[in-house]
Amino acid sequence: MSNQTFETLKELPTSLFQSQCVLHKHELLICGGCQQRACYSYHTIKNEYKLICEYPSDVDLFGHCVVKLIDNNKDSNEIILLSFGGWSKHTLHTLVMKYVSVWSNISNKLNKSNELNNYNQWIPFTDNHNHPIVIGRDNDNYIGVRALIGGSNSHLLFITYQPNNICVFDLNTFQFIKHDKLPTNFIQFHCFVSNSENGQAQEMMKTNKQKKKQNYQMLLFCFDAGLSIEYDEDNKTFQFYQLHVCDNMERFYAYAHVCVNDIILFFSGWNGADAVSKSVHEYSIREKKWKTFQYSLPNPLFDCTAILNEEDNRIHIIGGKDDKGITLSTHMRTRVREWDPSLFVMIYLFLFILIYFNEIQINCIA
């Protein structure tokens, strides 16, 4: 690891913090930020940005959440995004966007045929009878909310929000099916990831052969709280297990985080007052151990966003605020292998197998 661990990319079109970001093929979809309604597509190969749309003018963004609704067809040219947030009855929003790439010919064709009106814009989330659906109760405060998609049919939305709430929203019936309290005092702008052994951060499962459905496992970290969460889909019940949080992380939240293979990487953080971190930490899910890296971010940051580009195994860190509270337009990336040594092992193993079989083929021909 060297001082060149982080590569600076083209600046964002605008200063941004508390943004939400979704991966779609060669694009990072940057869906607004705090008091920033503009949404952009960043092309990971071209290192360029394009405006997608803006949130409606009556939507106030403050710690909102955006998730990609699961589509098993990875070759599909369109995806559906769900955005929700707010902090009171009159500020709650729930919107969806059918997205087709603004870089593609498909987008140009739709634009010429006036069909683009159905795509690349935020519209109200509706049920099967076209009635608007708002995710959240009148007294729910979704500032700094985090959510995951799960369930046996990828139909459940797991929502965690302040002060210590967790709930399950059924995307098929458009209803909440479970509300519960987390065994901690306060969460906000926290880490909430799937506990998955297949490297997919958005979807996880633990098969229970003695039940018709599955148990779903999640991990949550915020300040000194660490939780392993298990949801029984048959009985609609949660089980919570305490996890250790290292001393260096206990006073921080609002960090960027990304789940890679069996580890969670944490970048930066804030103590809510005068301390802003530039450290990088690792949590091993399997070993339940923490590690603080020698190298860190170039500058202290908080309220930035991290996302893994699975195409090239690079982690992008977008926007945020510095230790003076200034909102930034920075965009940088780092290679996964700088932080996850197991990736080196997999690469070398792959090369060894490739060379081994090539030698066998040569010997057979000879």
pLDDT digits (tens, 9 = 90+) for 89-99: 999 999 999 99
249 belongs to a structural domain: yes
CA distance 162 to 179: 13
Mapped onto helix, strand or coil, the DSSP state of residue 304 is coil
> Could you tell me the two tokens for 93?
């929003």
- Round to the nearest angstrom and report the end-to-end CA distance of the chain: 43
pTM of the model: 0.88
Among the residue ranges 47-51, 99-103, 352-356, the one predicted with the least confidence is 352-356
pLDDT of residue 205: 46
Backbone angles phi, psi at 187, to 5 degrees: -135, 150
156 torsion bin: left (phi>0), alpha (psi -120 to 50), beta (else): beta
pLDDT band at residue 201, thresholds of 50, 70 and 90?
Answer: very low
Confidence at residue 339, expressed as pLDDT on a 0 to 100 scale: 86
- pLDDT at residue 346 tops 60: no
Longest dimension (CA), the chain: 77
- % of the chain at pLDDT higher than 90: 78
Confidence bin at 118 (pLDDT 50/70/90): confident
305: nearest Cα among 318, 314, 296, 315: 318
How many distinct structural domains can be found in the chain? Answer: 1
pLDDT score of 292: 96
Predicted confidence band at 70 (pLDDT cuts at 50, 70, 90)? confident
For 145-173, what is the mean pLDDT?
97
Residue 103, domain extent: 7-365
Does residue 323 lie within any of the structural domains? Answer: yes
Lowest mean pLDDT of 161-170, 302-311, 345-354, name the range. Answer: 345-354
Mean pLDDT of 180-190: 99
Q: Is residue 2 part of a domain?
A: no
Q: pLDDT for 220-261, tens place per residue?
A: 999 999 999 999 999 999 999 999 999 999 999 999 999 998
Confidence of residue 325 (pLDDT cuts 50, 70, 90): very high
Is residue 1 one of the residues assigned to a domain? Answer: no
Quote the mean pLDDT of the chain: 89
Q: What's the CATH code of the domain at 168?
A: 2.120.10.80
- 188-209 burial code (b ≥16 CB/10 A, e <16): bbbbbbbbbeeeebbebbeeee
